A and B are shown apart, each in its own frame.
Chain A
Amino acid sequence: MKNDAQYTNHSGKAAAFVQDEARTDWHDGALWFVRYKRDIQIKKVPEWETMRELASQIKANVLANLDKYLIQFEENALKNGVQVHWAKDAREHNEIVLNILKNKGVKKLVKSKSMLTEECHLNPFLIENGIEVVDTDLGERIVQLRDEAPSHIVLPAIHLKKEDVGATFHKYLGSEEGAKDPKYLTEVARGHLREKFLAADAALTGVNFAVAETGGITVCTNEGNADLGAHLAPVHIASMGMEKLIPRQSDLGLFLRLLARNATGQPITSFSSHFFKPNVGQELHFVIVDNGRSEQLGRADFRKSLYCIRCGACMNTCPVYRRSGGHSYGYTVPGPIGSILSPGVDLKKYSSLPFASTLCGSCSDVCPVKIDIHHQLYKWRQIIAQENELPLSKKISMKVTGFLFSHPSLYRFAGKTARTMLPLMPRFLVYNKLNAWGIHREVPVAPKQSFREWYIEQQKKGANKE
């Protein structure tokens, strides 16, 4: 067993999560409600499935020509007066950002949501270097105050109830004790964040889409926090994974419609902000980050994982995610999409994640860009086994099972033995720590005859009659 903290043990963390069954039900219900809202919205669009197919093909085209689109994007951005930076990994990204901030003497940075900067662990790096970093997305601010990682890429604080938020704000922002009214709590956050926006000397945003033919980027938020930050501060840095490109401005409508409807069941996000050039007197920087994406692009079976537009719908729909929580995955992007991205980053560390699925396939059917997520989970499992990263118990039991099933008489003998023994065994011998099945479930009642035995008996009876 891998209990070492450097490995993510999904099943262990999930078991701890499920232990509080009422809270698990609440978490499951909250996310299912988002899935339900999504279903209503997508069913209002008759061309939905055509849109998915089209978006999937556009992303295939982008990845097949990524080098050309990236150069085109950079050329156009430079023409617009944007400063463009290339980062091969997280460390380079963080240093680029720090250098920009240092050059401008920045002490206070406000950020809108960016999973990429979570992936690069930018916040702790900047804080170590003396920069005040404030996440301005409400959910992200809540988890930042609590010193937690987001548990969902679209709904970072979905693991918390309003009572938890009230307690957090009371502790860090001095709000009333025991407050749980969402409107009051939002007002508290709003007041707190306004001060931060006004005091900031730089803003960092993520990027939802980067358009190659214009050199512009689009940032989607529901709170307007990206705009507030980017328009008030003299420096705007936008960090983007290099797969965020789309070829044409005319492709953007398709992706914006897919993203909002699929992510939260909204026809469109409240704010879709388009940044093309720096405001007068402002600097605008784009940081384009690889951080393992080239490697993933080189893996034919897993290339499609880079189509992802980060809508989070695979998390909302995943019956395992809903009942284990985002933190059980131990990776920046949790849930099904995270479970096919993370093994490419560190196979050993994340070897339990492709197994945190029943392979039900709901993630693949909900995906707005048709990533075959559950097939990729299956394929990662094969690689993990080949690379010897399976728990020993699983490895041995699969070898034995494989041997049994390729030797018919042995299989029959084992089956008969089990069926004969089970009814004779006292309960404590069947139901104990060694039988994970039996912790919450009964084992099947063993019949006297297998089907094969019955079939042979019938054939004999038939032959005797003749």
Chain B
Amino acid sequence: MKVGFFVPCYIDQFYPQVAVATLQLLEKLGCEVCYPLNQTCCGQPMANSGCEKDSIKTAGLFVENFKEFDYIVGPAPSCVGFVREHYDILEQTPDVVHVRTHIFDIAEFLIDILKIKKLDARFPHKVGLHTSCHGQRGMRMAQSSEINGPAFSKQKQLLEMVDGLELIDLDRTDECCGFGGTFSVFEEAVSAKMGRDRVADHERHGAEVITGGDTSCLMHLEGTIRRQNKNIKVIHLVEILNGTTLS
């Protein structure tokens, strides 16, 4: 199984440890992983701002980089979801269709494709899971609280495999963190307020660590926590699954 490793732009530039953890985890689980060196971004930032047309070349480049792989895996539901849902801006060639139907977020890939049942990781801390909206309501990786249906969460399922980890409950299980791409800048006041509220919910329930699958949400929450000088760590889900420790 040849896996093309997709590393979103902001992870590549600002959170390389998330990509390193993903790569190591996939290799530990026996995947043959290749990182195409010419990748940049999925194109979402422009499209969400109304400029789908400015995304077309970036999306085309993405398909060129990943069309040869059996699976494409990245640690970012939001970006993966964008490729799946919005690459209708490209002509639907076999390559484009292949990429759209074979791209997975790492948590989905571990649960649905590799079907892992256990992990060699220990993280003896109180952890709050921030479920990203695109992962949940876009990719349906977890049941959303608005729906009357059975509860499930692929990310939770993975965290439950981690030894010693205690998942805390939140008052609002799936409230948005307020990042929202360029929303975070153009609607700065509301975005920042949402971030503070999201952090406060975790704090009220004694979280030592906030984790999640989308680094964009985590970047927003981490920026909020650092400004407020709070003693809560922000760590991507995949780092915990890969056996990181709190240093």
Is the Cβ of B49 less than 8 Å from the Cβ of A32? no
Pick from B41, B51, B144, B220: contact of A399, CB below 8 A.
B51
Judge whether A447 is part of the interface by a CB distance below 8 angstroms: yes
Q: Which A residues are in CB contact (< 8 Å) with B9?
A: 405, 411, 415
Q: Which B residues are in CB contact (< 8 Å) with A366?
A: 146
Judge whether A276 is part of the interface by a CB distance below 8 angstroms: no
- Can you list, as one digit per residue, whether each of A21-49 has a CB less than 8 Å from chain B (1) or not (0)? 10011001000100000010011011011
Minimum distance in angstroms from A28 CB to a CB of chain B? 7
Minimum distance in angstroms from B161 CB to a CB of chain A? 25
Cα separation A324 to B194 with both chains bound (whole Å): 11
- Can you list, as one digit per residue, whether each of B210-224 has a CB less than 8 Å from chain A (1) or not (0)? 000000000110111
Q: Which B residues are in CB contact (< 8 Å) with A402?
A: 43, 46, 51, 54-55, 57-58
Q: Which of B190-229 contact A (CB under 8 A)?
A: 190-197, 219-220, 222-224, 226-227
Pick from A356, A359, A361, A406: contact of B57, CB below 8 A.
A406
Minimum distance in angstroms from B179 CB to a CB of chain A? 7
Q: Which A residues are in CB contact (< 8 Å) with B61?
A: 405-406, 408
Minimum distance in angstroms from B165 CB to a CB of chain A? 25
Is the Cβ of B175 less than 8 Å from the Cβ of A11? no
Judge whether B20 is part of the interface by a CB distance below 8 angstroms: yes
Main secondary structure of the interface of B (DSSP, over half): helix
Q: Which A residues are in CB contact (< 8 Å) with B60?
A: 406
Is the Cβ of B50 less than 8 Å from the Cβ of A15? no
Is the Cβ of A408 less than 8 Å from the Cβ of B144? no
Judge whether B155 is part of the interface by a CB distance below 8 angstroms: no
- 30 A-B pairs within 8 Å (CB atoms) are namely A24-B193, A39-B146, A42-B148, A46-B148, A319-B176, A355-B187, A358-B178, A360-B176, A361-B133, A361-B134, A361-B136, A361-B144, A362-B144, A365-B137, A378-B48, A390-B50, A394-B50, A398-B45, A402-B46, A406-B40, A415-B9, A415-B12, A419-B13, A437-B188, A444-B14, A447-B17, A452-B35, A455-B23, A455-B37, A456-B37
Beyond A406-B60, A454-B16, 11 additional contacts (C-beta under 8 Å) are: A10-B187, A319-B175, A355-B187, A382-B47, A382-B52, A385-B53, A404-B40, A439-B188, A439-B192, A441-B195, A441-B224
Question: What is the interface of chain B, defined by CB distance below 8 A to chain A?
Answer: 7, 9, 11-17, 19-20, 23, 35, 37-41, 43, 45-55, 57-58, 60-61, 133-134, 136-138, 144-149, 172, 174-176, 178-197, 219-220, 222-224, 226-227
